[in-house]
Structure 1
């Protein structure tokens, strides 16, 4: 099955959205050109942070399908400081 002109929109938590905006990060378009849409539980990673897809909502605006992905809170094990021994 092909998904022509599928638009994927990420929906982040307020804290993660603030981090993205303040850091001037452009979220990569992970699914451009792919024929298989993302699934709940898939993980994306960018700028050293990892996000898990918690939910999906399909919409159609009259022109093309849109898939909204509701992302879980960021996990950044590489950003965690456990101190020194």
Structure 2
């Protein structure tokens, strides 16, 4: 039995999506090619801001397994606050 491909999708809040678009930040595919998926509580850094993985949802459509990661903003002290 071969290892099935895993697609990891980051799900951001509406405010964070707006920030990503406005700042033209590219969200890298952190886990592409990695055998170990991210865990709840992991922190990632994108465009100088930190995001906390708050929840995970596994989905399978029969062809591919998808892991949706719901991330919340975990501002670092040096981050700029908009609004």
| Structures share fold, TM-score greater than 0.5 | yes
CA-CA distance at 1:3 after TM superposition: 5.7
Aligned residues: 80
- Measure how far apart 1:23 and its partner are: 1.6
* CA 9–3 in structure 1, closer or farther in 2 if over 3 Å, else same: farther
Give ranges in structure 2 of 5+ residues lacking alignment.
none
Greater strand fraction, Structure 1 or Structure 2: 2
Question: TM-score w.r.t. structure 2 length?
Answer: 0.85
Structure 1 runs of 4+ aligned residues shifted over 6 Å read none
Q: Cα RMSD (Å) of the superposition?
A: 2.0
Q: Gaps spanning 5+ residues in structure 1: where?
A: none
User: 1:59 corresponds to which residue?
Assistant: 59
Task: Give me the TM-score of the superposition, normalised by structure 1.
Answer: 0.83
